[in-house]
Amino acid sequence: MIPRRLALVAVVLISCSSTVPSLPSLGPALGSGDTFVAAGVPLPALQASLTSDPTDDDSYIPMISPAGGAYLRRSTNSIVLHAPTPPLGPRRVGIQVGHWKTDEVPDDLHKLATQTGAVWDDVQEVDVNMDVAQRVASLLRKAGITVDLLPTTIPPGYVADAFLALHADSDGVGELSGFKLAHGPLRGPFEDRLVSAISDAYAKAVALRYDAEHVSVDMRYYYAFNWGRFQHTTSPHTPAAILEMGYISNDDDRTILTEQPNVIATAIAAGLLNFLNATPRSQIFKDDIVVPLPVGPSPTPP
């Protein structure tokens, strides 16, 4: 179950940037009219005009430049994110254990400090997440993949061939059932492929339907891949997604989550391997990401 109010969004032009006299070394230079914006420095767009909480005051403060920085390309009115140095050695996958070590979050994730995950019928979500994550990691490692088991706090600008956050949801009443998947906006072009690969493998192996109706804004703007709002996120180039494996609050879902972790882990590992086989590292880190900035007046904060 993901926390509320931690949701990057549609961009709206405002006047805020950081100019340096010359371009630093962050990939190839773009041009004399480009401006480098260091990590954590405001970018000329609002953090959120779409958010999980419309009253969230963070919606009306600027986006921030991600780890490694970004360029403003005034000639095309866009933000340019250079491709990072790819991982070395075997393919690398990050598996985040939802709600693991939330008591160790840094200041920019302080709202997560008390988010310890769902609990239902004495079953702790974080225990389900950890059990499945360890099994997925074991399967991937046997296939020659390097795996990082990651806690709530993601290393700034985390770079891998794929990233997947594992969670189990709760509706509070025990009625909803199914699994859900989502990725974020303003990122690389391979995340639809990642979500599709995992969804296909999961649906074939696990006796749960895909609950598209309840894929939430919190999932689509999940903090671990929300680079314009937080520093402790995956690199925009790292294909990233979040999987809600089922509803811990539903009796049938919970039985599957607790009694069939091998089935779940095998499906997730298969989906990730299918994605990696279809998506060479040379494709993932080949091109820059260009985020257009719309032209228009700034909204008035409430």
Residue 242 has pLDDT above 70, yes or no: yes
The confidence score (pLDDT) of residue 2 equals 59
Longest dimension (CA), the chain: 61
Give the β-pairing of 78-81 and 119-120. unpaired
User: Domains in the chain, please, with CATH?
Assistant: 92-284 (3.40.630.40)
Residue 152 has pLDDT above 50, yes or no: yes
* Mean pLDDT in residue range 274-284: 98
Residue 97 has pLDDT above 60, yes or no: yes
Residue of higher predicted confidence among 285 and 121: 285
For 298, the 3-state DSSP assignment is coil
Each residue's pLDDT tens digit, 12-57? 333 333 332 222 333 444 555 689 999 999 888 776 543 555 556 6
Q: Can you tell me the distance from the alpha carbon of 77 to that of 180, in angstroms, rounded to the nearest whole number? A: 35
Q: Can you tell me the distance from the alpha carbon of 222 to that of 52, in angstroms, rounded to the nearest whole number? A: 10
pLDDT band at 101 (very low <50, low <70, confident <90, very high): very high
Q: What is the pTM of this model?
A: 0.86
Nearest to 243 by CA among 281, 285, 197, 276: 197
Q: Can you tell me the distance from the alpha carbon of 73 to that of 291, in angstroms, rounded to the nearest whole number? A: 10
Residue 300 has pLDDT above 70, yes or no: no
Here the tokens at position 45 are: 């767009």
Q: Can you tell me the distance from the alpha carbon of 55 to that of 257, in angstroms, rounded to the nearest whole number? A: 35
Weakest-pLDDT range from 98-102, 115-119, 180-184: 115-119
